[in-house]
Amino acid sequence: MPAVKRKYRLHYLDDPVLREKSVPVDEFGEAEAELVRAMAEIAAAHRGVGLAAPQAGVLQRIILVTPSILPEGAAPVLVNPEVVWRSPETENEEEGCLSLLSVMTPLARPARVVVKYTDPEGREREVEAEGFGARALLHEIDHLDGVLFIDHLSRLKRKFVRDRFRKMYRELGLGTR
Ligand SMILES: [Zn+2]
């Protein structure tokens, strides 16, 4: 019997879909709800704190961030998110990405951000996040523009992360699937 092909799966570095620009979502319907459920499954399976739709192979401006790192009341699903303010002060903390098998490296990011977004019910909202929450929002929103966290690193650090990722990717046999 042929293997059942899953509709959504995690896409890894070197997959061109991660470098494309995502399009805004006009209406959050059943297809988007199904996508978000799949994204939540992928994030949970890989113990991620967030995921962007392009990582699931879909070029729509939707991100997922685990509620525990956002202020109370923020929606875990952010549609058409947009950074409207970033603090001048930065924080240099470890960061990784599921699409790079969570190879971690320190990266300076704004300590606080304000993000405007629409929730799945179509309400316009805003969230002010700090620390790890701000980092996650910036990281996931970058994905919607085809930007990966390694793009913010020096050439040497980028090479270190890429090489470690490629080695793990081979060892896990992911390239042969
Ligand atoms: Zn990522």
The residues, ordered by sequence, that sit 6+ positions from 93 with a Cβ below 8 Å of its Cβ are 106, 107, 109, 131, 132, 135
pLDDT tens for 89-103 read: 999 999 999 999 989
pLDDT tens for 59-95 read: 999 999 999 999 999 999 999 999 999 999 999 999 9
- Annotation marks residue 121 as catalytic: no
Give residue 31 CA to ligand 1 midpoint distance, Å. Answer: 22
| Architecture of the structural domain at 16-176 | Alpha-Beta Complex (3.90)
Calpha distance 40→115 (Å, rounded): 21
> Which residue in the block uniquely carries the two structure tokens 């929103």?
141
Kindly list the domain boundaries of the chain, sorted by start residue: 16-176
Q: What are phi and psi of 128, to 5 degrees?
A: -105, 115
pLDDT tens for 108-136 read: 999 999 999 999 999 999 999 999 999 99
Q: Say what the pLDDT of residue 175 is.
A: 74
Marked catalytic residue, from 27, 93, 140, 171: 140
Give residue 16 CA to ligand 1 midpoint distance, Å. Answer: 14
Give residue 124 CA to ligand 1 midpoint distance, Å. Answer: 24
